[in-house]
Amino acid sequence: MMGAGKTTLGRELAGRLGYTFVDLDEYIEQREGRSIQELFEAAGQEGFRRAERAALEAVVQDFEQAIIATGGGTPCFFDNIDFINQHGASIFLDVPAEELVQRLLLTDLSQRPLLAQKSEADLKDFIVKTLATRLAFYKQARYTVSGKRYNIEQLESLVKP
């Protein structure tokens, strides 16, 4: 889920393992030549999700050993969670909704198309509802790690060959 720490932990984990780190949103922006926000504006969520799937497939083909930080919605569209599980060790970072909200309030929400222009109350409502709808997909990850903070050694042990 957005705010769970995928990018921060992914970068650290990739460094520890000597793997390539790929932030899927950054990869999409490079591939498409425009920001996620611009892609959402031009193609809508459906167009973005198609570009996201194509990028996910490309990353799997381009990098033999990589830690990929997907967007929070990535596992929830098409058969992405099945694709992810077939090609790697998926990890669901299970962070309580209230903690996600607090973390997101510390960021620039205008850079997140699904959160731009939301008040704190609207953000909390959105996170609670979105997490509830996405949970069925997230729970299909191979591993679930719960809590507000994570032990990087624990994550490393999950993905080491």
User: Helix axis angle, 24-32 relative to 36-62, nearest 10°?
Assistant: 110
Three-class DSSP category at 63: coil
Residue 161 has pLDDT above 80, yes or no: no
Q: Identify the CA nearest to 86 among candidates 75, 71, 99, 101.
A: 75
Position 55, amino acid: A
DSSP state letter for 19: P
Annotated binding site for ATP: 3-8, 112
CATH of the domain at 141: 3.40.50.300
Annotated binding site for Mg(2+): 7
Q: Is 159 inside a domain boundary?
A: no
Annotated binding site for substrate: 25, 49, 72, 134
Q: Is 22 inside a domain boundary?
A: yes
Q: Is 161 inside a domain boundary?
A: no
When divided into structural domains, the chain yields a total of 1
| Structural contact between residues 17 and 45, judged by C-beta atoms closer than 8 angstroms | no
For 83-126, what is each residue's pLDDT tens digit?
A: 999 999 999 999 999 999 999 999 999 888 889 999 999 999 99
Annotated binding site: 3-8, 25, 49, 72, 112, 134
Give 149's pLDDT tier (boundaries 50, 70, 90): confident
Mean pLDDT of 55-76: 97
- Whole domain around residue 142: which residue ranges? 6-154
